[in-house]
Amino acid sequence: MAGCDSPDVRSDVGRLSLAETLGDVETAGYARALAPRPFSFPEDHGPHPAFKTEWWYVTGNVTTADGRPFGFQFTVFRSALSPPDRAAGGGASAWSTNQAFMGHFGLSDPDGGTFHAFERFARGAVGIAGAHAAPFRVWIDDWALESESEDAFLPLRLSARADGAALDLRLVDGKPRVLQGRDGLSQKGPEPGNASYYYAYTRLPVEGTIRVGGESLAVAGSGWLDREWSTSSLGPGQVGWDWFALQLDDGWDLMVYQLRNADGSADPTSDGVLVSPEGERVPLRWGRDFEIAALDQWRSAVDGASYPSRWKVTVPSRDLDLTVVPVLEDQELNLAFRYWEGAVRVEGSSRGEPVRGRGYVELTGYAGPRPSR
């Protein structure tokens, strides 16, 4: 991917975020995630421009009153185009910035059999796109995630519209915020600094409307917000990750991810966490506490790129045994930055009791950039 020389502005920006995701970037001049740090809110809800990349990542599963399910993803990526110590190129102009924003909006409609994915790019200037800590707001044009009130982070209002699909959702307080990794330092590659600062709201009750296929539908369900910022994450041998965010109907949430090496093996820095119904955090260590096994694979219609599909996720210490099934096979975001991010159904057992759930899975590093048409 780093070898992609397309002059396409979009893929160029996509490449920026992907390249940094893969760790193949110039890190000089940027802040690094080297050690745990004290988090400070509301400031940390806002942008961290000293780091190369950052995202506000909302996923969720909702249903209409008569049970029609939908999955949604809304992400704003921030990408620094130059280190903070270097002045932006445009001098005193209000357009001058080194902050670029990319937005992804996905909507899965398993009953309708369709998956919608949209992207946007914008410079963080003159109000077109940006991120503010308090009152909290991240936006690209009319795609926005923002606090409803001036003085509290939650509830959040999420709105996005695109050709043939739109979201207007309210996310309210569900469980407390959890710091991922080691006190919020999520180690990705083995080298110091190949890590991110990472916190999440694993359960945010959602209600609002979805517009799809010309219909406006009232929906309710549960969302998940991930916040992560870093300068580099993957180590030299790492190619991508499989990330699971599962909400079980017994009140437990499970986040596990597995970093993949070029040879297909899972990297020991893979990590996970279980969050109790009360919001207590139970760390899971890869190789000891959880296992992920792909049961099937799916080939992209775009170029035949092969993704895993259907998984067995087990946490033996907790006697948790789950089968994870995509609500639609094709939930590939065939955008400038190409990956698979889809709503999943969960079935299985927890301590012998049957359990169901919903969630989101993210698969990166399986496909090259969108083939140029």
Provide the binding-site residues for another protein, judged by CB under 8 A: 5-10, 12-13, 16, 81-82, 86-98, 100, 121-123, 125-128, 141-142, 372-373
**Closest of 226, 167, 166 to residue 158, by C-alpha:** 167
Amino acid identity at 124: G
Residue 18 or 206: the one with the smaller Cβ distance to another protein is 18
Residue 38 or 127: the one with the smaller Cβ distance to another protein is 127
The distance of closest approach from Cβ of residue 371 to another protein in the complex, given in angstroms and rounded to an integer, is 12
The distance of closest approach from Cβ of residue 323 to another protein in the complex, given in angstroms and rounded to an integer, is 39
How many CB atoms are located within 10 Å of the residue 305 CB? Answer: 17
The distance of closest approach from Cβ of residue 68 to another protein in the complex, given in angstroms and rounded to an integer, is 27
**Closest of 242, 244, 191 to residue 23, by C-alpha:** 191
Residue 19 or 169: the one with the smaller Cβ distance to another protein is 19
- DSSP reduced 3-state for 122: strand
Q: What are 323's two structure tokens?
A: 């089968």
| Residues 275 and 284: beta-carbon distance below 8 Å | no
Residue 144 or 344: the one with the smaller Cβ distance to another protein is 144
The distance of closest approach from Cβ of residue 185 to another protein in the complex, given in angstroms and rounded to an integer, is 27
The distance of closest approach from Cβ of residue 161 to another protein in the complex, given in angstroms and rounded to an integer, is 10
Residues 6+ apart with CB under 8 A from 317: 288, 289
- State how far Cα 320 lies from the chain centre: 24
CA separation for the pair 190, 115 (Å, rounded): 36
Residues 6+ apart with CB under 8 A from 26: none
CA separation for the pair 287, 272 (Å, rounded): 11
The distance of closest approach from Cβ of residue 6 to another protein in the complex, given in angstroms and rounded to an integer, is 7
Residue 7 or 214: the one with the smaller Cβ distance to another protein is 7
The distance of closest approach from Cβ of residue 250 to another protein in the complex, given in angstroms and rounded to an integer, is 42
Residue 96 or 209: the one with the smaller Cβ distance to another protein is 96
CA separation for the pair 4, 155 (Å, rounded): 41
Residue 42 or 84: the one with the smaller Cβ distance to another protein is 84
Amino acid identity at 14: G
